[in-house]
Structure 1
């Protein structure tokens, strides 16, 4: 175990037994450490800081008085977590049964293979590790759905996102500095996971920023995910220092995404820009919208950015040359690369596994693809896909009842924040697991739905008064 892992363990255990929101802050911030192994003897299994912190967070939530009962109610509530609960049960059962049912009948790209290539379908360690990962994500979503109706928790969550943004930006800056000073070895204690690392890659003569992730694509994806959260949740920060810090963080995360030269990150930025534009138009036309308080400031910033960009282009047209070169390399040349061909092959074989099993799937952890939708289908089958996509659609589209305008607006902002990340998942995600960050947001969205017990109590009370 490296010293950063030891330090994080001490911080997490101390936060576990504290009364403050420290563990929540650590849960969100540790997403920046995507290459750090937290176990001294892993046996090939990687436990990242955010996963370790999530396990402690779930335990801390559920041991609080009454939360087990509330958690069970949320897990079985059709409006909140029931579809996700059913998906996890189905996926874990399939991970144990399906690889044995279809043993040796067709080829897959194994998720835990030491070298990329095809092999016949067989039970593997990935079936167990991926089951653990998806259960941990589910536990995180369940914990947030249990306590997410608290106004205090929403405030803590907003602050945690702000801390996480600056931690992530700091890791990117450190990565750049150590590379340019040729002292990259100082980051080796933070890069101890048994993954393949691409941390010293250049694009167009400049270093691709990876922070403390395994590669630039992962770093860019996390940057866009956090940036989307801050963009849409920005109206909920207090005017003054907090709001200013949020604006600065958005700008820095955008810069880090560009410096990562991640094609996935650029896709995410494009989706974020489109969704923000549609949402801005909607808020402009809806005079009663809770999130339109700062709409004049937003238009002023947009006008300023567009004016500076146009002025710079007119004064010096060559300013766009590096941008066009980067886009050409990341978009047009990407389709000719060996990496693109390999990832396309993964997805094709994963889709074929879905067809070869008659739509039942090869089992969680049996296949590696490069498309989240195909990963869900190829691993858990049509029924699993209906449950997972149904759960996400339900949380994204349903309107919560009996909640304040503040809670409803907060839920809407979270829903919009999710879309860029889900779009990026469709491009590069190799496994069905939604991850801790997305699970946290889905849990908070589910928490905006009033529990059935509260609705029954309100109904009984109103009948009594009548």
Structure 2
């Protein structure tokens, strides 16, 4: 095991936040969680990210108190979304250790990790791999994060802390993207070297059509685009609801620009879907008569502005040619590229793993896919997919909060933020662990009572939230 400089810094931040209280711990986790290309510690082939180290401090600081510990236990009650996610994790960990042995050799896999063979990208007979252990640990820490954040968000003060921390996470995502562009343009990429030390394949200095592929603090452009789609969904919805419109509108606007400029097919394919989702939400609020100024402007003005832009572009053939060439290179020809063909083959092989395992899955961390849906079926099969579907329904799709209230708007924002992450995962997600940003959105949503519940929940108060 080796400790990296960013790991020492993370521990210092954790100790400081521990003395400052739960709010500081949650903010520390939120900001460090975006460092997807960093390794605080290296244990063999495993990269322990700063976010996982910070989670230890958060869990210790929060769950060592009786009230939060009791709330964490309640978060695992069968009536709560956390119960179904816990079922997914328990089943997933069990499959990771049982299925590669039970079904050994019955199907060919593209291994996600390595144990007795080199990870060449070619298929090998089903057998245990090192990532069965690492991915099980990552999925278990995701459950711990979800339960801890749900427990913290169960009080008015804690809810406000998690909400503000999630906004801090969105800001950090944007700031690191700008730093990525700035350091590349000035030839000072080494300044970000301390957060790009993970033993992954990093694509931080690549270009397409003369444009820098924006990776921010992540390993590659597609991962950045996936994260930023979540930021767009969350902050865009808050802006439409009039919640801190200056801040949330600025982050949403910058996120959309960064997605378009990222040269990621994930971002360019996902952004129109997110914009349509936000426009549908704004139109719904307008029809129901409870639209804020921003929602009314977006619902009525966005189509007009979009049409005007299209008409202006039609007058400039050269601009149309450049835009079409960019979209064709990044999106339309992606499936026929070498990487596109390779990723498609992963999905075909992984789906065959699902069929060969009789719908039970070949185990978490066993097979490599290029879509969250395929990875879910291949890893945990039908039982795991059902656990996940119930969790998503209970956490994000059930109406939460009193209609028209601030907490109801935040619940919808969390749902749309999750939708952004899911769009990215469905396009390129190789594993079923969706990370800490997913946990923060889920914890925030799960802490808000469903509208049909008779159990009261303190309504959070944010000074100037709608000003």
Name the stretch that deviates more: 55-64 or 421-430: 55-64
Give yes or no for contact 1:144–1:443 (8 Å, CA) kept in 2: yes
Distance 1:409 1:186, change over 3 A: closer
- 1:320 aligned partner: 320
Aligned residues: 451
Per-residue Cα deviation, 1:233-272 (whole angstroms, up to 9, x for no partner): 236676xxx5312222222112211221111112221221
Deviation at 1:402, TM superposition (A): 7.6
- 2:19 aligned partner: 17
- 1:66 aligned partner: 67
Deviation at 1:405, TM superposition (A): 3.2
Deviation at 1:420, TM superposition (A): 2.0
1:134 to 126, 134, 139: 139
1:386 aligns with 2:386: yes
Deviation at 1:120, TM superposition (A): 1.5
User: How far apart, CA to CA, are the structure 1 residues paired with 2:336 and 2:450?
Assistant: 51
1:92 aligns with 2:65: no
- 1:436 aligned partner: 436
Distance 1:447 1:164, change over 3 A: closer
Counterpart mapping for 1:400-415 below 5 A: 400=400, 405-415=405-415
1:228 aligns with 2:230: no
1:179 aligns with 2:184: yes
CA RMSD of aligned residues (A): 2.7
Deviation at 1:308, TM superposition (A): 6.5
User: How far apart, CA to CA, are the structure 1 residues paired with 2:128 and 2:106?
Assistant: 12
Distance 1:452 1:281, change over 3 A: closer
User: How far apart, CA to CA, are the structure 1 residues paired with 2:281 and 2:403?
Assistant: 21
Give SS of 1:46's match: strand
Give yes or no for contact 1:55–1:136 (8 Å, CA) kept in 2: no
User: How far apart, CA to CA, are the structure 1 residues paired with 2:22 and 2:154?
Assistant: 17
- 1:258 aligned partner: 260
Deviation at 1:93, TM superposition (A): 1.3
Deviation at 1:365, TM superposition (A): 0.9
1:109 aligns with 2:114: no
Instruction: Using structure 1 for the length normalisation, give the TM-score.
Output: 0.89
- 1:123 aligned partner: 128
Deviation at 1:305, TM superposition (A): 4.5
Deviation at 1:304, TM superposition (A): 8.0
Name the stretch that deviates more: 443-452 or 164-173: 443-452
Distance 1:304 1:173, change over 3 A: farther
1:219 aligns with 2:224: yes
User: How far apart, CA to CA, are the structure 2 residues paired with 1:158 and 1:276?
Assistant: 20
| Structure 1 unaligned blocks of 5 or more | 457-466
Give SS of 1:53's match: helix
| Structure 2 unaligned blocks of 5 or more | 457-467
- 2:348 aligned partner: 348
User: How far apart, CA to CA, are the structure 2 residues paired with 1:345 and 1:450?
Assistant: 41
User: How far apart, CA to CA, are the structure 2 residues paired with 1:301 and 1:193?
Assistant: 44
Moved over 6 A (4+): 401-404, 450-454
Q: Which structure features the higher share of helix residues?
A: 1
Give yes or no for contact 2:35–2:218 (8 Å, CA) kept in 1: yes
Give yes or no for contact 2:37–2:218 (8 Å, CA) kept in 1: yes
